Amino acid sequence: MNQEDLFKNIIAHAKEYGFVFQSSEIYDGMSAVYDYGQMGVELKNNIKRYWWEAMVHLHENIVGLDAAIFMHPKVWEASGHVGAFNDPLIDNKDSKKRYRADVLLEDYLSKQQEKIEKEVEKGRKRFGDTFHEAQFLKTNPNVLRVKEKIDLVTQKMSDALNQNDWEGLRQLILDCEIVCPVSGSRNWTEVRQFNLMFSTKMGSVSDEADQIYLRPETAQGIFVNFLNVQKSGRMKIPFGIAQIGKAFRNEIVARQFIFRMREFEQMEMQFFVRPGTEMEWYNHWKEARLRWHLSLGLGADRYRFHDHDKLAHYANAACDIEFAFPFGFKELEGIHSRTDFDLTQHQKYSGRKQQFFDPETNESYVPYVIETSIGLDRTFLAMLSAAYIEEALEGGESRVLLKLPAVLAPIKAAVLPLVKKDGLPQKAREVLDLLKFDMQTQYDEKDSIGKRYRRQDAIGTPYCITIDHQTLEDNMVTLRERDSMTQERIPIADIHGRIMSKISIGKYLKSM
């Protein structure tokens, strides 16, 4: 199956099993806005908890915060979002469709990359066992020609974006002969800047002063509370403040399901350090965050770092942790060395000092900041797409399963009486009562046991416990494991301990 079909199947599966629904679907939906269903909300909560425990509970010098979404409008002037949080947009005059100019170019570059991959495929077929891919990539004239084009366009695009050269960006789109996917024409407008912040009014009088924004990132809530937390928590530098919360961006390119949403959630940590030590801490957090991802056990080959060539105005180093989504490697988390930009700006705009007196050096300074910022919804999508497997079984059967890390699975154990009579449901509920205080469980007595196993596989439940007639006599149950489908008879008294040892957050976090 190609990746596009696989992604479609994942999206359909997410809906069918109550993970993700289109927002306001009965009114034909809203693009790039999604609701999380009964399974989705559990998975999402488990991801949040896994992040929170790793960042806040495991670090003596990191504390949490829950700041409001509404903030004083000056915050967004100080942060630069009013002036510079823009996307370059271009419209096709025939289809009237609007695109992000840089995304049109990125799509063009991906297509060129696909051409190279096709050449490699052809080469492999032609040369068979003697095919040497690295050699082929270095010498094949078709590959070299495409590569040269990719490098040139990438360079020109990066220059145009860095210099805010919108005419140059438009010219590049024309030079690459990019057509509108809807109308097929090259009838493009100028490139214009579009601010991504949603605004609304606060209060009843509608004048300028009442205009406020829905926060486009959670970070600023942390910065404006830097001194509150530092003082009330008697924090000493270096220390961090972590927050999970909603952010809003009026994204123009709404696609790839929950990868790019207009309302989404971020899990951010701002780490305040002594000026001059920021590179050390930047490298520290780069490695620490990658270890967090790897601890979930999806495999190292699914992650890679991407260092930024174009740095945001506030950063002196930045990279992304990218994940192999079905549509390619894309940003999952950003790690940025934000210098003292934000606190200095707030000092300037608020007129209040944002400094720390360092007892070790006997001086006051505006701390530097390392930010780790991960999208909760993107992590959700990463988990879902890595876990989704269509598996052929013996005897021509097949099953769809979600091989989710047990610690994140929405339901940890399903308790299934073999039949709906003879006292088996009562016995099953006794077993359920032993587990439900410590883990998410589900009770299911409908349909054949095989069907029930399939339903649990499809939502990623790591364990099924089956109660049969024999259980009433010997207090033993069948424990079935999701991935291997192995079944084992074990005493009821052992079940709780056995499952807890596999789903324990601590066990996963210790592997970091």
- Tell which positions 296-335 bind ligand ATP, by CB under 6 A: 331-334
Among 102, 119, 377, 468, binds ligand ATP (CB under 6 A): 377
Residue 316: CB minimum distance to ligand ATP, A:
16
Determine if 456 is a binding residue for ligand ATP (CB under 6 A).
no
Residue 509 to residue 512: CA distance in whole angstroms: 5
Residue 21: CB minimum distance to ligand ATP, A:
17
Residue 377: CB minimum distance to ligand ATP, A:
5
Q: Among the candidate windows 103-111, 176-184, 373-381, 391-399, which touches ligand ATP by CB under 6 A?
A: 373-381
Q: Please identify, using beta-carbon distances, which residue of 251 and 430 lies nearer to ligand ATP.
A: 251
Determine if 411 is a binding residue for ligand ATP (CB under 6 A).
no
Inter-residue contact 126 to 136 (CB < 8 Å): no
Degrees (nearest 5) of the Cα angle 143, 329, 86?
Answer: 105
Among 339, 355, 373, 478, binds ligand ATP (CB under 6 A): 373
Q: How many residues bind ligand ATP (CB under 6 A)?
A: 16
Degrees (nearest 5) of the Cα angle 436, 442, 446?
Answer: 145
Q: Please identify, using beta-carbon distances, which residue of 378 and 427 lies nearer to ligand ATP.
A: 378
Determine if 260 is a binding residue for ligand ATP (CB under 6 A).
yes
Q: Among the candidate windows 131-139, 206-214, 356-364, 371-379, which touches ligand ATP by CB under 6 A?
A: 371-379
Residue 254: CB minimum distance to ligand ATP, A:
9
Inter-residue contact 276 to 99 (CB < 8 Å): no
Cα dihedral value 174, 177, 182, 184, nearest 10: 110
Residue 390 to residue 398: CA distance in whole angstroms: 7
Q: Among the candidate windows 49-57, 68-76, 135-143, 372-380, which touches ligand ATP by CB under 6 A?
A: 372-380
* First-to-final CA distance of the chain: 34
Residue 310: CB minimum distance to ligand ATP, A:
11
Question: Is residue 97 helix, strand or coil?
Answer: coil
Residue 198 to residue 201: CA distance in whole angstroms: 11
Residue 130: CB minimum distance to ligand ATP, A:
41
- Tell which positions 201-230 bind ligand ATP, by CB under 6 A: 217
Among 243, 266, 270, 345, binds ligand ATP (CB under 6 A): 266
Determine if 102 is a binding residue for ligand ATP (CB under 6 A).
no
Exposure on the CB side of residue 329, measured as CA atoms within 13 A: 10
Parallel, antiparallel, or unpaired for β 62-65 and 239-248? parallel
Q: 223-247 burial string, b = 16+ CB within 10 Å, else e?
A: bbbbbebbeeeebebbbbbbbbbeb
Residue 154 to residue 165: CA distance in whole angstroms: 14
Among 374, 384, 411, 465, binds ligand ATP (CB under 6 A): 374
Phi, psi dihedral angles at 278 (to 5 degrees): -65, -35
Site string for ligand ATP, 234-253 (x = CB under 6 A): ---------------x-x--
Q: What number of other Cβ atoms are within 10 A of residue 112's Cβ?
A: 16
Q: Which residues are near ligand ATP by CB under 6 A? A: 217, 249, 251, 260-261, 264, 266, 331-334, 373-375, 377-378
